[in-house]
Amino acid sequence: MQLGYTILYVPDVPRAVAFYEAAFGLELAFMHPSCDFATLKTGDTALSFCSRQLLQAQGKLPSAPDADRPCFEIALTTHDVAGALDRAVRAGATLKQSPELMSWGQTVAFVADPDGFWVELCTPVEPSDSA
């Protein structure tokens, strides 16, 4: 099995797509004419957005994320975490953690998008010689 995509439930799909394009340089792959669903290109696994209104019409009860109590994160890898962080904040992201070098050698920073979802900006994990 392979992870195909992750879907974020948002109040406004076009606004979320515009933010992710501006903040992270992601490219639109598909937007449904209703604007209730869209997918961004992110490599092998896509990042998608679905309107909470569409889910509610289907009898589901999606909840909004809490940026102060995250339950998951989206991780985007880059060799320039500081530059990616600056771009994201200028596009409207909220800084949650400045770049930090972790004990395993990876640099990570965190922002929250305008809907409250956390995005980790991180360097790729490099395999160790001892692995």
The full set of domain ranges for the chain reads 1-63, 65-131
Confidence of residue 126 (pLDDT cuts 50, 70, 90): confident
- Edge-to-edge strands, sheet with 73-77: 73-77, 118-122, 107-112, 94-101
Task: Write down the CATH superfamily of domain 1-63.
Answer: 2,3-Dihydroxybiphenyl 1,2-Dioxygenase, domain 1 (3.10.180.10)
Residue 131 has pLDDT above 70, yes or no: no
Task: Write down the CATH superfamily of domain 65-131.
Answer: 2,3-Dihydroxybiphenyl 1,2-Dioxygenase, domain 1 (3.10.180.10)
Asked whether the domain spanning 65-131 has the same topology as the one spanning 1-63, the reply is yes
pLDDT by residue (tens digit) across 36-65? 999 999 988 999 999 999 999 999 999 999
Q: How far apart are CA 18 and CA 102, in angstroms?
A: 31
Quote the percentage of the chain above a pLDDT of 70: 96
Q: How far apart are CA 54 and CA 109, in angstroms?
A: 32
Confidence of residue 92 (pLDDT cuts 50, 70, 90): very high
pLDDT (average), residues 20-24? 98
Residue 130 has pLDDT above 60, yes or no: no
